[in-house]
Amino acid sequence: MEETYLLNVEGVKKKILHGGQGELPKLQDGSKFTFHFQTLKDDFERTVIDDSREAGMPMEIIVGKMFKLEIWETLLSSMRIGEVAEFWCDAIHTGMYALVSRGMRRIAEGRDPLEGQKHRCGMGNMFDYHSTGYDDLDELQRTPQPLIFIMELFRVRAARGGLSEQEQLGQPAQLLLPAQVEDPSAYKRDTWAMSKEEKLAAVPVLHSEGNRLVLRREFAQAAAKYQEAVICLRNLQAKEKPWEDGWLKLESLVTPLVLNYCQCQLELGEYYEVLEHTTELLQKHNDNAKAYFKRAKAHAAVWNEREAREDFQRVAHLDPSMAAAVKKELKQLGERMRKKHVEDRKRYQGLFQSSQGL
């Protein structure tokens, strides 16, 4: 389901990725949720922070036991057995995530989750320690930010060891298996649960679908396909050592997808987004003529004349075959700037004459 809707909670959005079964579970203190989850940053690449499947064990929460990340109890209470849902949570709900994640990671590593921790509330411990022991969690602790949680609820046990209504009916929930990548629309639903091989298989499918949508001038939809492919590759790249062979091979697949995404954004008039992503790409690949060309066009569109001219000149230097296209763009830029200067002079003259009349 593509529709996004708000829970009756400030700073939370929910999107159902796969529908569940039956009614919402009836909960009381002592009820236990068992679920898998994935935590992502709310950035272009949807950077994965934690994944319970990779840790090799599901998560459990007991209702009413003061779990540090209180919003999770609210999110799970909105789900049916077998449901997979994506939740966007504002920073007001995610400030304690770094501490919760630290504990979960230590358990997965076979360590004491409370190792070195004083008997104080979670917030007190946050201020006592400068580091969680994990660089990415330290960043979250320093700069609280919105996070995305993808959750799959597969068991609810009622208080006192009872089973949920679904389990009482003899319908134990099973883990959702990753779908084979055949239809790009089906791919998006289960991205978070895919294996490495399935993510790699999804990329050319999404790339091709994006190209088809561009030919139909459906740029927003095409951009979404390219972005999903980049997310797949970045998730895989996060498991490789930067600048080593595996990382570089994936980066070679990422670059054309980002450029295609930027071209769509140029067509949609999202010039500042183009500036952001081309600049980020050029920080890694400062010899990419196509990235300079797209950034130059974005600069020109927002009247950054000096920056546009510098980037166009870099393009001509890096790729002489693009010299004709650069010459054409520079001519158009000059004409637009002259026209703008004339219009500005007329506007200022009108303002001056009006003030004189007063």
End-to-end Cα distance, the chain: 61
Full pLDDT tens readout for the chain, 358 residues? 445 666 778 889 999 988 888 888 777 777 888 999 999 999 988 999 999 888 777 888 887 765 678 889 889 989 999 899 999 999 888 888 988 888 888 877 776 555 554 444 444 443 344 578 888 898 888 888 999 999 999 888 876 544 444 443 333 333 333 323 333 344 444 566 677 888 888 898 899 999 999 999 999 999 999 998 998 898 888 888 888 999 999 999 999 999 999 999 999 999 999 999 999 999 999 999 999 999 999 999 999 999 999 999 999 999 999 999 999 999 999 999 898 888 877 776 666 555 555 5
Closest CA relative to residue 222, chosen from 282, 264, 178, 257: 264
pLDDT at 342: 85
Determine whether domain 4-157 maps to CATH 3.10.50.40. yes
Return the structure tokens found at 59. Answer: 């998560």
196-334, what's its fold? 1.25.40
pLDDT at 191: 60
State the Cα–Cα distance between residues 25 and 81, nearest whole angstrom.
8
- 201-239 burial by CB neighbour count: b if 16+ within 10 A, else e? bbbebbbebbeebbeeeebeebbbbbbbbbbbbbbbbee
The domain ranges of the chain are 4-157, 196-334
Return the structure tokens found at 87. Answer: 């939740």
pLDDT at 285: 93
Distances 177 to 35, 194, 285 between C-alpha atoms, Å: 14, 8, 38
State the Cα–Cα distance between residues 280 and 287, nearest whole angstrom.
13
